A = this chain, B = another copy of it.
Amino acid sequence: MADGPAAQPAFSLAIDAMGGDSAPEVVLDGLELAAERHPNARFLLVGDESRVGAGLARRRRAARICSVRHAPEAIPGDMKPTVALRIRGSSLRIAIDAVASGEASGIVSAGNTGALMALSKIVLKTLPEVDRPALAAIGPSARGDVVMLDLGANVQCDARNLVEFAVMGDAFARAVLGLTAPSIGLLNVGSEELKGDDRVRAAAETLRDSHLGPNFRGFIEGHDITAGTVDVVVTDGFTGNVALKTGEGALKLMRDLLRQVFTSSVPARLGYLLARPALDRLREWMDPRRYNGAILIGLRGVVVKSHGGTDAVGFAHAVDVAMDMVTHGFNAKIRDGMARIAAAAPSTAPPVPAP
């Protein structure tokens, strides 16, 4: 089949077959699952041709929708992004190149996060309307799934960046969660208007006056994330990264303690067996694999990072997220939102700090 550049991308996604703790096996198993859900997609699978080709030969469904492209090298998980940038023959680089050339609409990789972010920014470049890309992900809350960004792409942000994140988070929630009017909250240390620093107050003011105003719920606090107070949680990359990992850590602590509880005595074991169907539903609902796939948004192309240690089910979820974004014209939504924020004029200029 043709895999040269084309007006309509030949491939839905380019897949870094060599990224992740158990690549390429887990990637291939994940694609076998993804092939069931996206039978009409076409994936460009980039990696060591002999290993990937042999693996694909054993997976009939994945083989039907995947083409293999050879990459002589792979980027280790612990390589510094600055070093990774120089390796032109890596599976990651060749996959990103396929997005840059228009062959594929997006890329999914379970490999080195820093390398993926750095290479995507440099090779794909940001959308013309966007100042800085952001890392977003979906997580569970008491009232359904919640989008949070930035999760670490930008450790220092100004008010303008926060406003951009809100526009991108809005587009993301529409495309991936299928919401028509996602509510948006700005993470702060209190919900009163005077709380926080100049940066969050200036961003809140811009958002209130923007086309997102009707859906902007103002400031929210840390506990609002899992309470599901809003659909989109906007924050700087430092706070977002810490909040995400703190929340995950708290849930892990609770899971570990529950495991201890249910193995602590014979009656407790029996109790576990009786409650097991309900506990299994809870576990399934909270399953981190269901939330696998962080998205670097604001670039010319869809870029999804799968967790490096996930299994086939998790990798397939990351592919789902990327496919949702490709299918729903995600970047068109962002560009539209950015144009509307820009049209609302002076408020997009870097806001003057409050006195």
Identify the A interface with B (CB < 8 A): 140-142, 152, 155-156, 187-190, 196-197, 221-227, 235, 237-239, 241-254, 256-258, 260-262, 264-265, 267-268, 270-279, 281-282, 285-286
Given contacts A222-B248, A261-B282, A265-B277, 16 further A-B contacts (CB under 8 A): A140-B253, A152-B190, A155-B197, A189-B238, A189-B242, A196-B238, A222-B242, A223-B249, A226-B250, A226-B253, A227-B249, A243-B246, A246-B246, A251-B254, A265-B278, A274-B274
Known: A256-B142, A262-B278, A278-B261. A187 touches B242 (CB 8 A): yes
A and B contact pairs by CB, cutoff 8 A, 16 listed: A155-B196, A187-B242, A197-B238, A222-B244, A223-B248, A223-B252, A225-B246, A226-B246, A239-B239, A246-B246, A250-B250, A251-B253, A254-B286, A257-B282, A260-B282, A272-B275
Contacts of A155 in B (CB 8 A): 189, 196-197
Give Cα A256 to B261, complex, Å: 17
Q: Tell me how far the C-beta of A118 lies from the nearest C-beta in chain B, rounded to whole angstroms.
A: 13
How far, in angstroms, from A249 to B148 measured CA to CA in the complex? 15
> Separation in Å of the A156 CB from the closest CB of chain B?
5
